Structure 1
Amino acid sequence: MEKKTDVQVMLRAMEPEDLDVLYQIENDRSLWNIGSTNVPYSRYALHNYIADAKNDIYIDDQLRLMIENEAQEAVGVIDLVGFDPKNQRAELGIIIMRRFRRQGYAHAAISKLIDYTRNVLHLRQIYAVVDVGNAVSYHCLSSLGFSDGSILKEWLYCDGEYKDARIMQLFIEKG
């Protein structure tokens, strides 16, 4: 995977104008194997989700941010879920829209999120669950300092079969 170090992104709160992007991402069946979603979302449900989100991880128990490129186009979504304030950790999730993949946006967005978790949220660690066959995500996370952890046997159900997943962790050093 080519790492583009000159890629700049902005992470921002969801806006009502993001409804079409979220609708496209949440209803892309090819992405359902990497998350816990297995049903389509209506525009109404997503509209209410955007309207009701406080964008405060302590209130929502998650943080979902839009990834925007230099041209101010939404290129994807990045989030922290499974927030555990007692143990100061959360699970990383990221989706880059198909036409923007392999251009360095994921690397840039995760890097920004790491800075945010270090300097604002003061988390001790973030982790990701990655399909063992997803070499692109594995290399992206490894290049950002995530360590390879345990293999979770038959953790993900996709296309009628169970697949192994790996836990990748990043311990965040205080800067």
Structure 2
Amino acid sequence: MTEHLPFVRLRAIEPEDLDILYGIENDTRLWNVSVTSVPYSRYTLYDYIANSKNDIYADRQVRMMIENKCGEVVGIVDLINFDPKHLRAEVGIVIEQKFRNKGFAQATINQIKDYSLNILHLHQLYAYVNKDNKQSLNLFERCGFISTTELQDWLFDGKNYHNALLFQLFL
């Protein structure tokens, strides 16, 4: 039986997304699962939006807004650490709190897989996931990623180190 997932549309970041981006980037609850450790100013984020070429080859990353069928932004998905020689990129996703546990993350990962394979012609996507983050572990497993390595003390939350699992998907 096929699971019904909600409609999602991926689009480029627009200046109108500044408040959403500002909220996500400065949410300290997310910092322990990312490389962010300082707040971003509105000016810095506006400058990022204005100067990003939105070209993975130029920027070595691409960030897209995730919209639902009503045009509401439900989150952000990133392809970062793009390696054009080895044709791989790291995937990261944040779904706004009020839209979590409704299938938007899985629908988005499915779309980013299709985009990575058919548009970017990538060979591999990967993600680092905190071993204690059951929701993210389940998400990547449902989307076909395989846990290939456990990295000891990989993530630091400001007080404690946490092991991370490296998830890989070969396209």
| TM-score normalized with structure 2 length | 0.97
Deviations 1:121-148 (A, max 9, x none): 0000000000000111111111111011
Code of the aligned partner of 1:117: S
Residue aligned with 1:87, SS = coil
> Is the CA contact (8 Å cut-off) linking 1:147 and 1:170 kept in structure 2?
yes
Separation of aligned partners in 1, 2:98 and 2:158 = 23
Aligned in 2, Cα 1:78/1:104: closer, same or farther, shift over 3 Å? same
Code of the aligned partner of 2:135: V
Shift, 1:51, TM fit: 0.5
Alignment partner, residue 30 of structure 2 = 31
> Is the CA contact (8 Å cut-off) linking 2:54 and 2:63 kept in structure 1?
yes
Q: Does residue 1:45 correspond to 2:55, yes or no?
A: no
Aligned in 2, Cα 1:82/1:12: closer, same or farther, shift over 3 Å? same
Give identity over the alignment, percent. Answer: 50
Separation of aligned partners in 1, 2:94 and 2:149 = 23
Code of the aligned partner of 1:126: L
Shift, 1:5, TM fit: 2.1
> Is the CA contact (8 Å cut-off) linking 1:4 and 1:104 kept in structure 2?
no
In the TM superposition, 1:1-175 aligns within 5 A as 5-172=4-171
RMSD of aligned alpha carbons = 1.1
Shift, 1:4, TM fit: 5.8
| TM-score normalized with structure 1 length | 0.95
Structure 2 gap ranges (5+): none
Residue aligned with 2:102, SS = coil
Shift, 1:84, TM fit: 0.5
> Is the CA contact (8 Å cut-off) linking 2:5 and 2:104 kept in structure 1?
no
Separation of aligned partners in 1, 2:95 and 2:152 = 26
| Number of residues of Structure 1 aligned to a counterpart in Structure 2 | 170
